[in-house]
Amino acid sequence: MNFCWLLSAVFIVSLFLTYVLRRYALANSLIDIPNLRSSHTLPTPRGGGVAIVVSFLLALPVLYYLDLIDLSVFAGLLGAGALVAALGFADDHGHIAARWRLLGHFVAAGWALFWLGGGPQISFFGVLLNLNWFATILFAVFLVWMLNLYNFMDGIDGLASVEAISVCLSGCLVYWLSGHQELSWVVWVLASSVAGFLCWNFPPARIFMGDAGSGFLGLTVGLLAIIAATKVPELLWCWLILLGVFIVDATWTLMRRLLRGEKIYEAHRSHAYQYASRQYGNHKTVVYAVLAINLLWLAPLAVAVGTGLIPGVAALIIAYTPLLLIAYKYQAGMLEPAK
């Protein structure tokens, strides 16, 4: 099968499934009703992220059959992704206690890391750190945090989708310029699956992603970073740089809320991107700004790391410094003034 045909098929399946899921959500009253903690103003169907999950997971056996991914990547992505998506789907339709969701997230992370051979080595200014079992724990926490931060950052129309697509395409550029094109096939497929959904999710969104989609995306992108690091440790820094907007906003906001003693699993709208969307009065401005940051600031730095021009840790500090200033400017984690 020609790879372009596979990407086209994944896109079409995702596009059509999103349409079907929207009809299903409308027929079964799976509607996100705006409230005081919402960033949208109109009732909108939710759960469309299942289209991303299904189209991506269906493509994995094809990638494996074509020898574009090995068994460990196939089994790790398929098992962990399916479990997280199932938990998110169940939570979208009812409610699962936070502790059980968290347990399921760690089980999914453990499954994936088992197949990938544990946590990879970490490159620190050219020195390879082999942390053995501690690396597995560290990367399990990383995966669970990626899963949940992506859920936190999926709060305005199109943002989570545009982040995933731009990060994946930038990652493929890094692979191409650094001579590791063999790592890019599964990344292209993920971008294609999200692109089909984005046609329905771009502002103003006609359907939301839901926990099944956002959690799946966070876990999968985190796994792509680990898969890359397993092959070339320095590439981990490239992914951390590319994901900088989401990592900085979510982590800064979480830390501020923890310091205030808030329940971090409760809904809120105190992320920098949420304050920015209210300030500018629309979601498109923020989405385009994030896209510009990803492509014009973070992608070149990731390429510099991937091609050996800048050490990963140094580039990460350079990349995150203005992002931290932006988070401060837009009051990430601050309590919203009472009205």
Tens digits of residue pLDDT in 161-204: 999 999 999 999 999 999 999 999 999 999 999 999 999 999 99
Contact criterion met (CB below 8 Å) for 299 and 114: no
For tokens 């939570």, what's the residue? 91
Instruction: Mark out the alpha helices in the chain (DSSP H runs).
Output: 3-27, 50-65, 71-93, 98-116, 133-153, 159-178, 185-201, 210-231, 235-242, 244-259, 272-280, 284-293, 299-306, 312-329
The full set of domain ranges for the chain reads 3-30+43-329
Averaged confidence pLDDT in the chain: 93
Please tell me the predicted confidence (pLDDT) of residue 263.
Answer: 76
Q: Cis ω on the peptide bond leading into residue 204 (within 30° of 0)?
A: yes
What are the backbone angles phi and psi of residue 170, rounded to the nearest 5°? -65, -40
Tens digits of residue pLDDT in 110-120: 999 999 999 99
Give the whole-angstrom CA distance, residue 223 versus residue 201.
Answer: 24
Please tell me the predicted confidence (pLDDT) of residue 33.
Answer: 72
pTM, rounded to two decimals: 0.95
Give the whole-angstrom CA distance, residue 241 versus residue 252.
Answer: 16
Please tell me the predicted confidence (pLDDT) of residue 1.
Answer: 54
Contact criterion met (CB below 8 Å) for 170 and 242: yes
Rg (CA), the chain: 19
Residue 123 pairs with which residues in a beta bridge? 128
Please tell me the predicted confidence (pLDDT) of residue 39.
Answer: 62
Contact criterion met (CB below 8 Å) for 146 and 156: no
Contact criterion met (CB below 8 Å) for 201 and 158: yes
Q: How many CA atoms lie within 13 A of 327 on its CB side?
A: 22
**Which two three-digit tokens encode residue 143?**
């995966």
Contact criterion met (CB below 8 Å) for 142 and 236: no
**How many Cβ atoms are within 10 Å of 256's Cβ, its own excluded?**
17
Residue 122 pairs with which residues in a beta bridge? 129
Q: Bigger pLDDT: 33 or 248?
A: 248
**Which two three-digit tokens encode residue 27?**
């027929």
Please tell me the predicted confidence (pLDDT) of residue 261.
Answer: 81
Tens digits of residue pLDDT in 269-305: 899 999 999 999 999 999 999 999 999 999 999 999 9
Residue 32 pairs with which residues in a beta bridge? 44
pLDDT band at 267 (very low <50, low <70, confident <90, very high): confident
